[in-house]
Chains A and B, each alone.
Chain A
């Protein structure tokens, strides 16, 4: 294709959109709505996923043993737990170690530690279990319940389950809304292109008589669809970057406690979202224009 031809297609595509400005705007807004929802759900879902990962790294299962087991018993128990599927690592914590950890966490000078030492230690022997992934927590818990000598099990199941559920709901709801808006966008784009085709009936007719190929006639309309897709995707994405950054920093500012969990960085989110959403916008434009051309442009 000659550069002059490409320039011609671009100019014709743009002029088609300008002649039909109201429908063009409607199409762009529809694509914008779709891409906004897509971006929003991606931001939320990817952050929830990110938080889940952090919890996977930090939260495991703590198992406390009753009475005073012998070191042989402790060794046996450790092997048993290690053999459970999805268990990555098992770390034994003696009552002494636990006391030391408490002291470093809370400050050794605290009054509660008074009178507590090696011989007078109310803390239990325990194991800290790390899992391969957070979803395996349930199965591992079931397996642990079958082991004798375990006094107490502690885990962050409810929190993780909540986040997992929220993540799932978000993904599904976001996808559905995106799908509906996507279909609406395609229909509006189709109508826009249809009007553009009708506006150019005479021109198309002449083009056919002088021997323009079918694709030469189709290209400007496809370009129209692509422009709608690009503009409709770029606007929410470019606005989305500062908005995302602002929201994250506001959350950190207003809820300092939340600093324990890390949100995803603007760059990390948009390096994926930007090209994918842009491609999706272009895809909407192409689907809309191609279906419309196939229906309305008899070449």
Chain B
């Protein structure tokens, strides 16, 4: 599903983002990317989203070499990638329903499908009754659930999460993690960058540890690595 072959990203100011990264993520995987600040987590996420171009190496997502895509093909790549951020990034002037429907509308989904899928996804993330609320009327957890609903409403095969629990208290974070686990069990590949040791330890999923732009540990099933 995702292949990184000898990927190096050097920033224009000379600093290394990631160096010689080789990573293979299979369909249906749930992968934690862990590491301290500056370890290259964000660079890796941005490379996957094609917000950044690798300096050298190839990135293959869904059998497509993304580093060779022209700019007008990027939107179609991104339709394969749901994305959730630490800061939710909801539109404050739209309701929960509209925020989720927005993701379908901008890829020109028919109204009929929007009306069918949005309530279903909202029910899935446990916001079935919050459709008419505005983001500022929601708790942090509910806001992140809305963001999650928006990320999966177009049914992308891959979900990329950048510190999705970073702004949430532990209990709420757990709710989100269970939801991610459910989504993963339905077949969606999940790549999640995080600092949250407890979560990683408890979930017992694949853990890739980055340090100074290199993969220092990659275990199939395990906990947070102290080296990071």
Contacts and interface: CB of A to CB of B under 8 A. Distances in A.
A214 B72 CA distance: 7
Interface in B48-94: 49, 71-72, 75-79, 81, 83, 89, 91
Interface in A1-43: 1-2, 4-5, 8
A212 B102 CA distance: 10
B108 A210 contact: no
A212 B106 CA distance: 5
A207 B74 CA distance: 12
Nearest to B103: A210
B154 interface: yes
B150 interface: yes
Interface residues of A, number: 19
B111 interface: yes
Interface string A203-217: 101111111111011
A209 B110 contact: no
A207 B72 CA distance: 14
Main secondary structure of the interface of A (DSSP, over half): helix
B220 interface: no
B76 A206 contact: no
A202 B91 CA distance: 7
A203 to B, nearest CB: 6
B150 A211 contact: no
B78 A208 contact: yes
Given A202-B91, A203-B91, A214-B71, A209 B108 contact: no
15 contacts: A202-B91, A206-B91, A206-B102, A207-B106, A209-B78, A210-B78, A210-B79, A210-B106, A210-B150, A211-B75, A211-B77, A211-B107, A212-B75, A216-B75, A216-B106
Interface of A: 1-2, 4-5, 8, 202-203, 205-214, 216-217
